[in-house]
């Protein structure tokens, strides 16, 4: 009798979806919630604000029932800091804490592991106005207090934590951490100041979890943009290496190895930029490395050599050999495999894919269905490449598609839909917010039920 081939995906693999609080919850002024920097963003014409989003705050039981039907074993969302500390400081808000108690209890009752991000670009607005966000070490300390509060409250309910969403965006977009550079400060020096403070906040959170809930696991996360040299010219190949060092490797090096790499410190010394090191910072980073590495993956680009040295990554171009989404993002499943292989070769640490998906324009058919074959093809091809990487020895502990339900995009677009569950609203009309299962719902359900064997 022939022996059945064992699946490369382990039985405890985490399958599920990922969202943020501000893109799904709504209830922007309920339960004692304060305002965040997201609430204060200007809304582009034709887009939506986040006041209602997809109303997860009131419909979480309905949505979690759908996630159970899907077969999810994990669901990633973020805690809204402003639900716990409405102004970022002061006393914790019991109504906010109780809301997440209810959500995590409901997930666990349905066999779904909560994967929780502490910060997803939604700093309490009061901290941006009062302290200039993470440009201030005061906000680092307040973040640590917030982290300790939720770690203690949800010990035993949350076993997987992420500190900051896509932390590698901090150099190019410090405003996502509530920090605006003063006119009299060099922009690069300011960006590294904020970046360092965020690293310290990350490490303080890791330390806090070790003390409060040592059985739980915590990771650092980046957005992984796979890049290729624009040509086989050595200059383009070198530019590609340097872009990856600054955008990807720098952050994983600190998460996994606990120190700034020499290619960063040498660069700063050459430019006369001094990191805002305080006593104990280096030891804190060194001692508080993570349990796993995590990334979002959506696309790849090519890199062309630029004569002018830039601290913000330049020379990125679309790859002419790849198809693109309506929003111009290259579709590159092999790029995911390359990302997994590279990260594992450098660090030999477990990897958690915490975002991967495609945004599509979709409308509900008269019979309440959505034929989203393009999404099925996208997810299938990426999961296939993930499995190939695992067959080559990469340790992947989970795969979370971006969305689960449709949600507002980070720019407030409802027409850019990511979910396998259709939410009946558009950018300007809330309609009835009813949920409908797309064709991809049943496809992903089968993938999870067969642990990735049937794609």
pTM score of the predicted model: 0.97
Task: Please tell me the predicted confidence (pLDDT) of residue 2.
Answer: 41
Query: Cβ distance 303 to 351 under 8 Å?
Result: no
Distance CA 395, CA 387 (A): 10
What is the C-alpha radius of gyration for the chain, rounded to an integer number of angstroms?
21
Res. 4: pLDDT tops 60: no
Question: Which tens digits make up the pLDDT trace of 113-126?
Answer: 999 999 999 999 99
Question: Does the pLDDT of residue 312 top 90, yes or no?
Answer: no
For residue 240, pLDDT over 50 is answered with yes
Please state the rounded mean pLDDT for residues 391-395.
98
Indicate whether 5 pLDDT > 70.
no
pLDDT at 102: 98
* Res 307: pLDDT: 83
Sign of CA dihedral 208, 211, 213, 215: positive
pLDDT tens-digit readout, 158-173: 999 999 999 999 999 9
113 given a catalytic annotation: no
Instruction: Flag whether pLDDT at 309 surpasses 80.
Output: no
Q: What pLDDT shows up at residue 298?
A: 98
Average pLDDT on 240-265 reads: 97
pLDDT band at 311; cut points 50, 70, 90: low
Give the three-class secondary structure for 17: strand
The active-site residue out of 106, 113, 355, 362 is 355
Task: Reply yes or no on whether the pLDDT at 1 is more than 50.
Answer: no
Q: What's the pLDDT at 315?
A: 80
Q: What integer is the mean pLDDT of 386-398?
A: 98
Listed residue (207, 99, 199, 240) closest to 157, CA to CA: 99
pLDDT tens string 333-376: 999 999 999 999 999 999 999 999 999 999 999 999 999 999 99
Q: Quick one: average pLDDT of 182-190?
A: 93
Strands (E), 403-445: 421-423, 435-437
> What angle in degrees, to the nearest 10, is found between the helix axes of 94-109 and 56-70?
20
Structural element, H or E, at residue 270: helix 262-271
Categorize the per-residue pLDDT at 401 as very low, low, confident or very high, splitting at 50, 70 and 90: very high
Span 207-226, pLDDT tens digits: 999 999 999 999 999 999 99
């Amino acid at each position: 009798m022939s022996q059945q081939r064992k699946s490369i995906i382990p039985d405890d693999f985490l399958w599920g979806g990922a969202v943020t609080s501000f893109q799904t919850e709504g209830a922007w002024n309920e339960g004692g919630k304060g305002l965040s920097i997201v609430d204060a963003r200007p809304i582009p014409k034709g887009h939506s604000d986040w006041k209602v989003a997809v109303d997860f705050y009131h419909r979480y039981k309905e949505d979690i029932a759908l996630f159970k039907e899907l077969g999810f074993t994990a669901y990633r969302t973020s805690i809204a800091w402003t639900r716990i500390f409405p102004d970022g400081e002061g006393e914790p808000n019991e109504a906010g804490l109780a809301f997440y108690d209810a959500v995590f209890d409901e997930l666990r009752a349905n066999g779904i592991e909560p994967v929780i991000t502490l910060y997803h670009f939604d700093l309490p607005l009061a901290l941006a106005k009062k302290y200039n966000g993470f440009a201030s070490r005061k906000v680092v300390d307040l973040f640590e207090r917030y982290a300790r509060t939720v770690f203690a409250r949800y010990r035993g309910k949350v076993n997987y934590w992420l500190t900051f969403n896509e932390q590698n965006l901090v150099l190019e977009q410090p405003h996502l951490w509530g920090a605006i550079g003063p006119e009299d400060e060099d922009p690069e020096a300011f960006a590294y100041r904020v970046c360092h403070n965020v690293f310290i906040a990350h490490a303080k959170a890791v330390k806090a979890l070790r003390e409060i809930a040592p059985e739980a696991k915590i990771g650092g996360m980046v957005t992984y943009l796979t890049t290729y040299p624009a040509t086989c010219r050595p200059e383009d190949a070198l530019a590609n290496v340097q872009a990856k060092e600054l955008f990807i490797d720098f952050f994983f090096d600190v998460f996994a190895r606990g120190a700034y790499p020499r290619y960063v410190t040498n660069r700063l010394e050459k430019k006369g930029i001094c990191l805002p090191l305080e006593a104990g910072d280096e030891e804190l980073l060194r001692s508080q490395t993570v349990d796993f590495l995590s990334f979002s993956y959506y696309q790849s680009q090519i890199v062309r050599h630029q004569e002018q040295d830039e601290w913000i990554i330049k020379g990125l171009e679309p790859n002419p050999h790849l198809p693109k989404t309506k929003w111009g993002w290259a579709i590159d499943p092999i790029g995911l495999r390359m990302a997994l292989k590279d990260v594992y070769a450098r660090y030999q640490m477990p990897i958690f894919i915490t975002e991967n998906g495609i945004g599509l324009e979709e409308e509900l058919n008269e019979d309440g269905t959505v034929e989203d074959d393009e999404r099925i093809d996208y997810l299938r091809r990426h999961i296939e490449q993930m499995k190939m990487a695992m067959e080559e020895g990469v340790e992947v502990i989970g795969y979370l598609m971006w969305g689960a339900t449709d949600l507002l995009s980070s720019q407030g677009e409802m027409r850019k839909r990511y979910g396998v569950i259709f939410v009946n609203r558009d950018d300007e009309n809330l309609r009835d917010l009813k949920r409908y299962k797309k064709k991809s719902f049943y496809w992903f359900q089968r993938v999870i039920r067969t642990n990735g064997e049937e794609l």
